[in-house]
Structure 1
Amino acid sequence: MGTRVAYPLQVKQESIEMKLAGKTVKEIMETLHIKNKTQVETWWRWYRNGEEHRLLQPVGKQYTFGKGPEVLPELEQLRIDNKFLRQQLGIPKKVQRIGKEVEPQIFVALVESKQGEMTVKELCEMFQISRSSYYRWVKQKDRKKWSELECLINRLCVENKFRYGYRKITALVNRTHRVSKNTVQKIMQKYGWSCRVKKKKRQNTGQPYAIYANQLNRQFQSDRPLTKLVTDITYLPFGQKLLYLSSIMDLYNGEIIAYTIGDKQDVALVLDTLHQLPPMFHCLMHSDQGSVYTSYSYQEEIKRKSITMSMSRKGTPADNACIESFHASLKSETFYLDGLKNESTSIVIQTVVDYISYYNKNRIQQKLDYRSPIEYRKAAV
């Protein structure tokens, strides 16, 4: 058992003064050479509770067993009593009401005026108000200061789970209002409503050999549906077992027209995705040089569907940037954003299915004139 350290009264008072000055517990411990952070927190709790006389007690449980000093120094007791009386007299009479009768606006103003003298906890206990109610009143007070435009931007950010940056939010706002993107950006930065999607990551992986040349050649634009398709497989390491997503995108509008989720990265996974395609002619299908795409079974099915094959160069994922970007957005805007790390297999699958539906039907894109893929396709028809 460690030896207990008895700190002098001066050290305890200096600790409280440093805490009042905004110093952290770590800084106080390093400056005053205090070994245990519990000591600093205990002295601070005694000060906040008006029990500064306890700073005089010796080490151990003398107070618990009735062996401590029975009488406080007279001047110390008077100082404690005066402090309590000053706090009571300093409270405005118009908030001397209990529970629901306390006016939220007046109480919030009172807490602000007493900052540094009394804590939020002490004031809430005095008026029998829960701290959660106080913080709710603070939020309501701040929200009343919002303008109509700020309320609209907040609603759009919340509805889209903070997946959009200021450009897309501006496009949505301009459906009913006229506002510049700079104004929207300033408002979103002011309140911390900026896009919360994590930085997208890519992993460069090369394949042993290529069978087909790169006929797509990074020409990702298409003027007709179902003429240029791209496909790829991505990992879904967010559940109790590793899953794989195989998807096919139409470059005409960026729509995901076929996808399969499986627990094996084999030829059956990509064939199942390929079988979902409607009948088509003179279509170009681009992929990387993965073994599943260079397999005999996959290429035979490609020929049967009269599809022309195209493949990225070795170790160059940018040649298939569109489908890579979609997979990165799927992970960033769902699993990374919501902190999903070890979910059940059914939740992982449902999350992917819901996102692809949202991506096709609702997620607007700048290159589509701020419309979703399906909206863009229907508008063209």
Structure 2
Amino acid sequence: MMKGKLTFYCRMLHVSRQAFYKYLQRKDRPWKYQKLADAMRDILKEDECNDTYGRSRMRDALLQKKPKDVDIPSERTVYRVMEEIGISHRPKRKPNGITKADKAARKSDDLLKRDFRSTEPLTKCVTDITEIKASDGKLYVSAMFDCFDLAVLGLAMATNMKAPLCAP
């Protein structure tokens, strides 16, 4: 290749001639993170649930497995290598809570004062609502617990989250 043509192509690609020659020197060199990338792929193949591994869980798995001839790098390097080989985990959904505070509503009194211990049965009872997503909608399950021995006093289910669901 003539020097004049090389200068023209480098200018067109916004690359210096020096960078082009450096590229020619190292283009056949193997990637320095190839063994690390192979170890990451092996971890993903071990179990089908491992595809949810992010950078911190992947680094922890590498530290636990200790693959041969692989130096475990920082979490940031693990992230970059995962991005490079296309195994970075993207959460499928953003959790959205069901509690929407009404700013104008009257605040309830904290009758238990965050003390959930009880010395006698049925003196302090609490309830909790759990939202379960089903194929045909949402199901809300409310359980009432006794603070004395954490026994379940009752369960209620409904397709809405209205006050009667929690009432005894």
Give the TM interval when normalised to the shorter protein.
Answer: 0.3 to 0.5
For normalisation by structure 1, the TM-score amounts to 0.22
TM-score using structure 2 length: 0.45
